[in-house]
Structures are given as structure tokens and as C-alpha cells.
Amino acid sequence: MKTARFVPILLAFSIPAAALAQAPPVVPYERLVKSDGEPQDWMTYGGNYYGQRFSALRQINKLNVGTLRMAWAYQTVRPASNMESSPIVVDGIMYLTEPPSTVTALDSRTGAKIWTWSPILNNVVAIGLFQTNRGVAILDKTVYIATIDAHLVALDAKTGAVKWNTLVADNRVGYAITGPPLVINGKVLIGTGGSEAAVRGFLDCFDAATGKRLWRIWTVPALNEPGSESWGTALPEGGTTWNAGAYDPELNLVYWGTGNPAPDWNGDERPGDNLYTCSLLAIDPDTGKMKWFFQFSPHETHDWDASEPPVLFDDSINGKPRKLLGFANRNGFYYVLDRATGEFITGIPYVKQTWAKGLDAKGRPIFLPNIDPTPEGNLVFPSITGAVNWTSPSYSPLTKLFYVDAREMGSYFLKSAPRWEPGKFPAGGGGERALSGDDAYGAIRALDGTTGKRKWEFKLLAPSWVGTLATGGGLVFSGSDEGNFFALDADTGKPLWEIFLGSSIRSNPVTFAVDGKQYVIVSAGSTFFTFALP
Amino acid sequence: MKAVRLPCVVALAFFAWGLGAMAQIPRDMTPVTARTSPEDVAAGRAIYESTCSKCHGIDGGGGDGPILQGVTDRLGDTQTGAIIRQGIPGSGMGAFWQISVEQAGQIFGYLKSLSHEEKGIAPGDIAKGKDTYTKSGCAGCHMIAGEGGDVGPELTRIGAMRGPSYLRGALLNPGSNLPKDAGVMERGRFMQYLFVHTVDKAGKTIDGTRVSEDSFTIVIKDSTGRIHALRKLDLQTFEKIPGKSVMPSYRDTVTGSDLDNLIAYLTSLKGTQ
């Protein structure tokens, strides 16, 4: 019964008084592993290694969230659109990013700036992506940022001074980075974007102390390598790793999604499943070897990257405890996998989809006929931008619900002759005419984590680009594309608080506490807004 | 093209020098003018489809980026031409220096061919149409050059924005073919002048056209021109009714040559720029 969980909400969470903005943070790997024990901090992109975006903080809760007020705001150095940054907060210091690749450290109590670092960028090539950045990672005394021109940079957490700067890949041919690094014991993992430029996808791992590359795993095979038979005679291209991964310290496995094969919408030259695009890869971080993979969308032609952040959680299936992985895919299906083995457990649509009859016993889609793009345009749901995109869902271990910002929108998918020149033209071979405006809508949906069945929804005017945040206060925070920031009852979806921020929200909200006070932060337009109780 | 081969080799050699150092591609700020010959438009279309369509839609109807149909009407030639290669700093529209001035001109020519403006000629008499406009009471709701009401859309430039057949449809079946706004992606392509019916929890009805909307709020202009901003959570009924309009149909009141004349007058309204 859910009611039993309501009892402790009235008691303010006891927050350790260790938050001293003057002291530089020291974040050993062990702290990151046990980050759930320090809910006042938000130490990794996904809130914890599991990517759950759940905080146990409950000072702000169902009973008092209606009184939430703005505490402080921070405006970016330059006006920015598509600000997709998700801050991290450690020991009272916040590290956020600004488009395209700036890092700023702030006093999280006041928003006062401590330092800012920006790379020197010239003639950036950004094909099929916005020049933005989703966030940093911290390990020991170092903050890690990956830049739009595909460098990985280590900054001193106290001063912002550069410790090392490593070239990850060649931006001139289309590699670009917008996603956050994942740091684990002594290592920094980073992926890149660039599938629309027809680059070959990979995941890289660097030594956290020196910036030396430890390994690289390609996400698509070279010609004549195993897996290349799934491409006909085409040179495998695409499968980039442009968003966030997750990590299970016990299994010592990193989970990372891969993007579309190239060219996107014209699959004529690449018959077959196109391994390992639109897949989830489980990788041993010590060796860089793939332990298992699960391909969501074989021979993908709708740009439905499997780049959504994976969410790890533990629950029982048929009475047996399992280590699970929940994945709300851009293709419209919610999947539950066994994260130790990659075994498919279940998968059901969480939005309107018109391309698959369903999934078979192994999770492979049963395709409907005539779903590919055509020269005239073929209407298929979901749209090119997908049922979700880069935003992060959340999972509450209290409600056992998976909260996703679902996008109900279709597209007329178009096909044309692919054209490509390195670093110049995208290799798309088509495009879309989206059924947006009054023909589309968005919704925050609560899905049962183990079955994907919908428990509730809260409808939005337009499909949103805002992730969700679940809290111990029984709340789910998210926002709208129009600019509403709001809190819903995590059990029922009922709106409990809302404020209009005046510009599109396109980021993931985050919560933290400092000096005994809980805050919630989200960006809209060029501004980060921070809220707390009066 | 042979002419570009040598510079490419030089550029590649330059790339090879510096580890991680970015080669500087000189930025050519030559103004871009539209190339509108059929060959140029066809070439522009091919470049557009491979380069621009992912964000702007293959027919310019918008996607991640704004609708480009009629963009030159909105921005003017100089600005449109500049944006193609230079982008819009701080936005999702990056610079495309890799595209030559000639290619940009071809894309520009293709964009012009996507314009909303219909090239039909209205057969009626403009002066008589102005009389019909006055006698029919159109000015009670519509404004032309500062004269008239503000319930419906201003018509000062309606002839530059809409063609005769569209205007005929709007007079006979208002609300049947509403224009869509030109915002970006999820914020774009919303129907303008959409009819909305609301009843609040006290039982009060407010109907009118949508002025703006977000996930929590609807702003409505009623048939007297009054603006109401309503919280959706405070409403017991909230319906959007496509096809319905606060404007009456003139199917039975303005007919035959009077209708042709009225359309000719409206088509003649190009405003001043």
C-alpha cells in the first residue's frame, strides 16, 4: 500500500551541515558509488550511477510545494538558445555548462560565480545537432567537460585551470560532443555525435589523471569484421554515442546507447540489421569489450537513435529479484532488460506508434508493411525527434514508477538520394514534415517500472524537451516547451505547483540542498532558475 | 570542378600540420542574392534537401527549425540571404561557410519558390470592392491602415500574404482553413484564430479565438475584442473547435460580383514597407 510511505514526509530530511562553499570538493570514486547516501549533492549527470534522477530529499514535498519561490537566477555569459545543461552540485558548489562548451562554477546558495572556463572554438562543424552541452562530470578534484569540437578537457575543480586537454575525434569530418562524460574509478568515458555526418561511432575511455586513451570500442564494425555482414556491401557508418550512459559498479558494466545508421532515412544501400546501431551496449570498462548488446531498432530509417539515458533499478520479476534496466526508446516502446545478461523481459508502447505490430519474444520489432520514408512522404508515428529524445526520465524506488516526458507527434518521413562530403553536407537522404502544432501534444507519463503499463499521465500542450526529476517528497518535477515549470504528485500526476518561466525549458531539472535548505533548479531560455521554500 | 582542386590540397596540407589546431577557413561575407532560374532553383532544392531539410522540413514546412515557406516575406531579401551562410549566432541555426556564395544563392532561389503568396489574379473591381467592404461592416472587426476594429486580424497587408482563392474560402467558410503560425518545431504550426469554448467552475461561458496557450493557461479574445487569460485547471469545460469561427460566413450576404469585387479589393491591400 502506498499510504504507508506518506508518514515520514512531514519530517524534514536531516541534511549534514558539511556544505562549505569555500572548501574545494574532493570526490573520490567511492563517494560517487554511494551518492544516494548524500542526497544533498547531485554528483553525477543522472543523479547516481544508475541514472535514476531520484533524490531522497523531502524538505520540499506534496504538502508545501505550493509555496515554492524563486531563490536565485543565473544568466549565461552570452544569450543562448537550446540550453540543455544539467548541473552537478557537490559540497555547496554547482558546476553547470552553457552553450556551446562553457563551464561555470557557482556558489549553490546564492548563484555567485566562482569561475568560468570556455574553450577557443573556430569554425565548428555541427551537422544535425545543436551547439550545446548537457553537463560535466567530477572525480576527485577534477571537473571533466567534453567540447563541441570533440575535445575532452580536465579542469581543476577549485579554479577552472586546465589540467589536460585531449582530442577525442576530428570535428572537421563531423564528430562533435554535446553529452556528459561518465567518470568511474580512474577513468573518463565519453561518446560523440555525428551520425548525420556519416562518421563511425565509438565510445572512448581515458585515464582520468593523464588524459591518455585507455581504449576505444567502435559501435559499428569495419568492413569484413564480424557484424559487417549486417550492412550488405555498405561501409558501416553512424551509431554514435552522443548522450549519457549509466554504470553498475557491482556488475562493473557501463551501459550506453547508440544512434542511427547513416544515411538516416534512405536505407537502400545498407540492407540488414546494421549492427550495432540503435542498440544498447553493455561494456566492461576495464577492457573496453562488449559483454552484450540489445538492438531496439534493426535497419533503422526514421532517425530513432537509441541514445536515451538508460535507467538501472532492482525489482522482482515473477517473484524473483532481478537487476533490471528500463529504457524509454525514441521508437515509442518502453523496454525492460536484465542488465546482467541483456535478456529481454518486456516491452510495450508508451506513445502512439504506427510502425510495429509489436515485439517478439526476444524483443525484436515485428514490422508493419510500408513504414519506410518515401519521396512523397510517409506518415509514421512517432516523429523524427521521437517519443523521447535526449532528455532524461526518472525512476522512484518509492513508487517503483518510471517517469517519462512522452512526445505524441508524427512525421511525414521523406526519402531522397543521400549526398555526403566529409564535414560538409549531412548524409541524411531525406527528412521530415512534422505533424506539430495542434496535431501534436506531450505528456508526463508514469509507467510501472517492470511492466511499462501506464499508471497516470499529465498532458502538455506541446511535446516537451524536459526531463523529469523524482523526489523523496513524493514529487515529480518537469517542464513544458512553452515555459511552464511544475511539480506533480508522484502517485497520481495531479499538478501541485506551477510557474511560467517565459521561454522554452529544454533541460533536466535537478535538486540539491545546502545549509539545510533544499533547492530545485532548471533552465529556461538563457537563465537558470532556482527555487526553494520561503 | 578543376578550379577548386588546388585550394583543397593546400587546405588539407594545412590541416595536417597542427595537432588539434583548427585551420582557419576564410569567411567570405559576400552578399547572397537569390538565383531564380529554373536550373538554379533545382540545384538549390537538391542542396536544401540534403543540408537544410533535417531542421526546416523537406518542403520548408518546419521541423526542428522554423518554417521557411514565405520566409523572404517576413525577413526581407538581405537578411534571408545573410542567414543562409552566416547563421544566427546563439541559435540552433549554425553558419554554413562550407556552402559557396553561388550555392547559397541557389538555396535562396529555392526558398523564394516556397513562398506562401499565391499568384492568382482576382477578377473583380477594386473600388467597388472597397464599397462592399464598408457596407458589409468588415471594418467593425478588421483594421486597415489604422482604421477599423481589432477583433479580427489586421488586413493592411492581406493581399501580400494571401491569394484570392484563400480569401474566398475565408469569406465563405471562416475557420475552415486557418493559417498556422511560424514558430519553431513544437512551438510552431499552431492554428491561428482557433475557436475555443470554455466554461469555468462557476458556470460562466467564455468563447472566442485563441490568442496564446501554454500547458496551464489559455488566452482568449472574445467577440467583443476583450482578452481573457484563463487557468485551465479552473475550467470545467475547455474545448478547441477547429472549423468554427467568431466571424460569420458571408455566403448569403455577399454574393456574385460583390464577392469578386471584395476579393479584388482585399487582394490589392499590399501595405507599405
Which three-class secondary structure string do you get for A90-121? ECCEEEEEECCCEEEEEECCCCCEEEEECCCC
What is the pTM (predicted TM-score) of this model? 0.87
User: Which of these ranges, A108-112, A325-329, A432-436, has the smallest mean pLDDT?
Assistant: A432-436
pLDDT for position A246: 98
Nearest to A172 among B15, B24, B194 (CB): B15
Tell if the CB–CB gap between B54 and A128 is shorter than 8 Å.
yes
Q: Which domain holds residue A193?
A: 2-532
Residue-wise pLDDT for A479-497, tens only, equals 999 999 999 999 999 999 9
Q: State the Cα–Cα distance between residues A189 and A248, nearest whole angstrom.
A: 14
Contact list, A434 vs chain B (CB under 8 Å): 57, 62-63, 185, 189
Model confidence at A322, pLDDT cuts 50, 70, 90, reads very high
Nearest partner of A119 among A133, A139, A106, A138, judged by Cα: A133
Residues of A (340-399) whose Cβ lies below 8 Å from B: 377, 384-385
Q: Is the pLDDT of residue A362 over 60?
A: yes
Task: Output the nine-digit C-alpha cell for B211.
Answer: 490568442
Nearest partner of A425 among B83, B50, B93, B57, judged by Cα: B50
pLDDT for position B74: 74
Cβ neighbours for B126, distance < 8 A, ≥ 6 positions apart: B261, B264, B265, B268
How many domains does chain A contain in total? 1
Do B59 and B103 fall within a single domain?
yes
Average pLDDT over residues A452-471: 98
For residues A470-491, one letter each, b for 16 or more C-beta atoms within 10 angstroms of the residue's C-beta and e for the rest, the string is bbbbbbbbbbbbbbbbbbbbbb
Tell if the CB–CB gap between B54 and A414 is shorter than 8 Å.
no
Nearest partner of B186 among A405, A508, A472, A181, judged by Cα: A405
Residue at B141 is within a domain: yes
- Given its phi and psi angles, is residue A208 left (phi above 0), alpha (psi -120 to 50 degrees) or beta? alpha
Do B39 and B86 fall within a single domain?
yes
pLDDT for position A216: 98
pLDDT for position A426: 62
| DSSP state for residue A299 in the 8-state scheme | T
Q: State the Cα–Cα distance between residues B130 and B125, nearest whole angstrom.
A: 9
Average pLDDT over residues A371-379: 89
Do B38 and B83 fall within a single domain?
yes
How are beta strands A137-139 and A113-117 bridged, if at all?
unpaired
Q: State the Cα–Cα distance between residues B167 and B161, nearest whole angstrom.
A: 10
Do B134 and B87 fall within a single domain?
no
Cβ neighbours for A87, distance < 8 A, ≥ 6 positions apart: A42, A94, A95, A96, A135, A510, A521, A528
Q: State the Cα–Cα distance between residues A374 and A261, nearest whole angstrom.
A: 18
Q: How many helices (H) and strands (E) does chain A have?
A: 1, 38
Do B168 and B257 fall within a single domain?
yes
Whether the CB-CB separation of B51 and B60 falls below 8 Å is answered with no
Say what percent of chain B tops pLDDT 70.
81
User: Which of these ranges, A37-46, A196-205, A300-309, B67-76, has the smallest mean pLDDT?
Assistant: B67-76
Amino acid type, B88: I
Q: Which residues of B touch A (CB under 8 A)?
A: 15, 19-20, 22-25, 46-47, 49-51, 53-54, 57-59, 61-64, 90-92, 94, 97-98, 180-181, 185-191, 194, 213-217, 233, 240, 242
Q: Is the pLDDT of residue B26 over 70?
A: no
Task: Output the nine-digit C-alpha cell for A229.
Answer: 555482414
pLDDT for position A108: 97
Residue with cell 505547483: A497
Say what percent of chain B tops pLDDT 90.
47
Tell if the CB–CB gap between B216 and A130 is shorter than 8 Å.
no
pLDDT for position A23: 65
Say what percent of chain A tops pLDDT 90.
84
Do B136 and B220 fall within a single domain?
no
Q: What is the DSSP string of chain B?
A: -GGGHHHHHHHHHHHHHSSSPPP------PPP----SHHHHHHHHHHHHHHTHHHH-TTSS-SSSBP-TTHHHHH-HHHHHHHHHH--TTSS----TTS-HHHHHHHHHHHHHT---------S-HHHHHHHHHHTTGGGT-EETTEE-SSS---TTHHHH--HHHHHHHHHSTTSS--B---BGGGS-PBTT-EEEEEETTS-EEEEEEEEE-SSEEEEE-TTS-EEEEEGGGEEEEEE-TT--SSPP-TTTS-HHHHHHHHHHHHT-----
Cα of B181 to nearest chain A Cα, Å: 9
Q: Is the pLDDT of residue A61 over 80?
A: yes
Model confidence at A12, pLDDT cuts 50, 70, 90, reads very low
Residue B217 belongs to domain with CATH number: 2.30.30.100
**Average pLDDT value for chain B:** 82
Model confidence at B5, pLDDT cuts 50, 70, 90, reads very low
pLDDT for position B62: 67
pLDDT for position B13: 31
Residue at B17 is within a domain: no
Residues of A (285-314) whose Cβ lies below 8 Å from B: none
Q: What is the DSSP string of A300-328?
A: --S-----SPPEEEEEEETTEEEEEEEEE
How many residues in chain B?
273
Q: Tell me if residue A303 is catalytic.
A: yes
Crossing angle of the two packed helices B77-86 and B101-113, in degrees rounded to 10: 130
pLDDT for position A324: 98
Residue-wise pLDDT for A219-268, tens only, equals 999 999 999 999 999 999 999 999 999 999 999 999 999 999 998 889 99
Tell if the CB–CB gap between B186 and A442 is shorter than 8 Å.
yes
Contact list, B23 vs chain A (CB under 8 Å): 123, 172
By CB atoms closer than 10 A (0-12, 13-18, 19+), residue A452 is: buried
Cα of B243 to nearest chain A Cα, Å: 13
pLDDT for position A398: 98
Q: Is the pLDDT of residue B185 over 70?
A: no
Segment (H or E) for A531? strand A527-532
Residue at B41 is within a domain: yes
Q: State the Cα–Cα distance between residues B161 and A256, nearest whole angstrom.
A: 49
Residue B256 belongs to domain with CATH number: 1.10.760.10
Q: State the Cα–Cα distance between residues A356 and A382, nearest whole angstrom.
A: 11
Residue at B65 is within a domain: yes
pLDDT for position A165: 98
Nearest to B189 among A131, A430, A436 (CB): A436
Say what percent of chain A tops pLDDT 70.
94
Do B60 and B142 fall within a single domain?
no
pLDDT for position B8: 32
How are beta strands A54-55 and A469-471 bridged, if at all?
parallel
How many domains does chain B contain in total? 3
Q: Is the pLDDT of residue A197 over 90?
A: no
pLDDT for position A418: 77
Q: Which 3 state secondary structure label does DSSP give A351?
A: coil
Residue-wise pLDDT for B32-85, tens only, equals 899 989 899 988 988 887 778 777 777 777 666 777 877 877 788 888 888 998
User: Which of these ranges, A262-266, A327-331, A448-452, has the smallest mean pLDDT?
Assistant: A262-266
Tell if the CB–CB gap between A436 and B188 is shorter than 8 Å.
yes
Task: Output the nine-digit C-alpha cell for B181.
Answer: 503560425
Average pLDDT over residues A312-326: 97
Do B140 and B214 fall within a single domain?
no
Residue at B5 is within a domain: no
Q: Is the pLDDT of residue A502 over 70?
A: yes
Residue at B20 is within a domain: no
Residue-wise pLDDT for B123-166, tens only, equals 899 999 999 999 999 999 999 999 999 999 999 988 877 778 88
Do B152 and B87 fall within a single domain?
no
Task: Output the nine-digit C-alpha cell for A154.
Answer: 580536465
pLDDT for position B180: 78
pLDDT for position B272: 67
Contact list, A460 vs chain B (CB under 8 Å): 215
pLDDT for position B248: 94
Amino acid type, A496: L
Average pLDDT over residues A64-88: 94
pLDDT for position B79: 87
Model confidence at A42, pLDDT cuts 50, 70, 90, reads very high
Nearest partner of A189 among A179, A178, A181, judged by Cα: A181
Task: Output the nine-digit C-alpha cell for B123.
Answer: 477578377
- Beta bridge partner(s), residue A173: none
pLDDT for position B166: 84
Nearest partner of A200 among A275, A148, A252, judged by Cα: A275
Nearest to A414 among B58, B180, B187 (CB): B58
Q: Which domain holds residue B234?
A: 185-240
Do B189 and B263 fall within a single domain?
no
Which one of the listed residues A149, A204, A273, A303 is annotated catalytic?
A: A303
Task: Output the nine-digit C-alpha cell for A465.
Answer: 524537451
Q: Select the more confidently predicted residue: A281 or B90.
A: A281
Rg (CA), chain B: 24
Do B222 and B263 fall within a single domain?
no
Average pLDDT over residues A201-209: 98
pLDDT for position A17: 39
Q: State the Cα–Cα distance between residues A397 and A402, nearest whole angstrom.
A: 9
Task: Output the nine-digit C-alpha cell for B203.
Answer: 458556470
Average pLDDT over residues A53-78: 97
Average pLDDT over residues A359-371: 98
**Average pLDDT value for chain A:** 93
Do B32 and B99 fall within a single domain?
yes
Tell if the CB–CB gap between A426 and B215 is shorter than 8 Å.
no
Cα of A310 to nearest chain B Cα, Å: 24
pLDDT for position A360: 98
Model confidence at B19, pLDDT cuts 50, 70, 90, reads very low
Residue A40 belongs to domain with CATH number: 2.140.10.10
Tell if the CB–CB gap between B58 and A433 is shorter than 8 Å.
yes
Q: Which 3 state secondary structure label does DSSP give A10?
A: helix
How many residues in chain A?
534
Residue-wise pLDDT for A156-194, tens only, equals 999 999 999 999 999 999 999 999 999 999 999 999 998
